[in-house]
Amino acid sequence: MSSFLVGHANGEHWRAASREATRLLGKIPPDANLGFFYATQEAGANMSDILRNLIFETGIQHWVGACGIGICATDGEYFGEPAVALMVGAFDGDTFKMFDTEKDDPAGWIPPGATDALGGGFAVVHGDPGSREILRMLPFFAETSGAFLAGGLTAPDVEQSQVAESVTGGGLSGILFSPTVVVATMVSQGCIPTGPLRHITESVRNVAVTIDNRPALEVLYEDAGEEYRGNLQAAAGRVFVAFPVEGSDSGDYVVRNLVGADEERGLIGIGAPIAPDQPILFCRRDSDTAREDLRNRLNDLKKRLPSKPRGAIYCSCVARGPHLFDENEEVGIVQEVLGDIPLVGFFGSGEISNDRLYTQTGVLSVFL
């Protein structure tokens, strides 16, 4: 089979949503041997039952996926209700294998067909947002496997929220692909810088004391806008900090939340560990800049594609979706630029690209 098959549906009950999504897949080709499976958190308690039914009804033994706060598919997004999105495709049997960092020996974290840990490859990765080790595990897993990672963190209120052959939870799990499986990826930021590159000059844990040798809060006002002076509550959900990615040739950066401020002492709290001399940017988030960046990144990706994708996985931040775009607009923009391609994915509490954890982004991976 060339193009992948997609089926997605909602329902009053997880069973109805799963049954309808499976029906909408249509006739399963005999060479289809891998399925991607995403469910909303309202169906999360029944992930094992859904997976058991999928194997029985489709005959496909290998499934990978996750439970998201919301999910998306080719022409729809689902939040706040039981919903299931499925995508099935055909791969050579020796080009993929599942992994679970909670159970597997690191010696097995090498993509099929790779000669050693530096052999390359690609991995769809799902992580536990409750794990304090995620920031350490991502670079360790990427280096050990030699794979480029793409995925996201799952729904925080579902204990067993990951699928890798069976339902699991904690750590990282997903699927490793051989370097012979051709995949292209892109990251779209939801924020845009509002000031110049600066440097933290004094900090205590996650609190910035001074930036460029000035009170950190004063620098925030200068870069983000004087309208927030004395009204910091108005900055919530609009103003963020960003840390440039070292070695990036595309101006990439990771965004973190502001978690507090002390107007009297000029301090700001940041949702990540920080250190003196660390470069930092202030940025803002709004729907117009997010739309523009998504279209730009998709057009850049399209220029790199030698053919139309067979299928795609999209992992987006829960702060995007209906909180930033009109209904179904995010997946609509993907289809507008790349054409009508099979797609499934989810909205989570963090996005993964390469060996880093992002927020406020959309990470798209397309299979060629």
Among 285, 304, 333, give the residue marking a domain's end: 285
201 and 332 assigned to the same domain = no
Same-domain status, 176 and 201: no
- Model confidence at 2: pLDDT above 50: yes
Task: Give the number of other Cβ atoms within 10 Å of residue 230's Cβ.
Answer: 9
Structure tokens at 141: 């897993």
Residues 162-178 have a mean pLDDT of: 94
- Where does a domain end: 253, 285, 317? 285
Q: Do 180 and 89 reside in the same domain of the chain? A: yes
Give me 177's structure tokens.
Answer: 């692909």
Higher-confidence residue of 335 and 324: namely 335
Q: Does residue 17 share a domain with residue 133?
A: yes
Question: Over the chain, what is the mean pLDDT?
Answer: 91
- Is there a single domain that holds both residue 327 and residue 231? no
| pLDDT-wise least confident of 103-112, 186-195, 247-256, 349-358 | 247-256
Query: Are 162 and 48 within one domain?
Result: yes
Judged against a pLDDT cut of 60, whether residue 117 lies above it is answered with no
The residue out of 258, 285, 312 marking a domain boundary is: 285
Range(s) of the domain holding residue 230: 193-285
Query: Are 223 and 97 in the same domain?
Result: no
Q: Is 308 found in the same domain as 271? A: no
One domain, residues 116 and 229: no
Torsion from C-alpha of 206, 207, 209, 210, nearest 10 degrees? 50
pLDDT level of residue 247 (50, 70, 90 thresholds): low
Tens of pLDDT, residue by residue over 68-80, are 999 999 989 999 9
Q: Does one domain contain both 80 and 125?
A: yes
pLDDT tier, 176 (very low <50, low <70, confident <90, very high otherwise):
very high
Task: Looking at the structure, tell me whether residues 179 and 321 fall in a common domain.
Answer: yes
State the pLDDT at residue 118. 43
CA nearest to 91, candidates 33, 154, 166, 175: 33
Q: Average pLDDT of 140-165?
A: 93
Looking at residue 70, its pLDDT comes to 97
Q: How many domains does the chain have?
A: 2
Q: Could you tell me if 344 and 206 lie in one domain?
A: no
Answer whether residue 309 shows pLDDT above 60.
yes
**Alpha-carbon distance 293 to 12, whole Å?**
36
pLDDT at 1 over 70: no
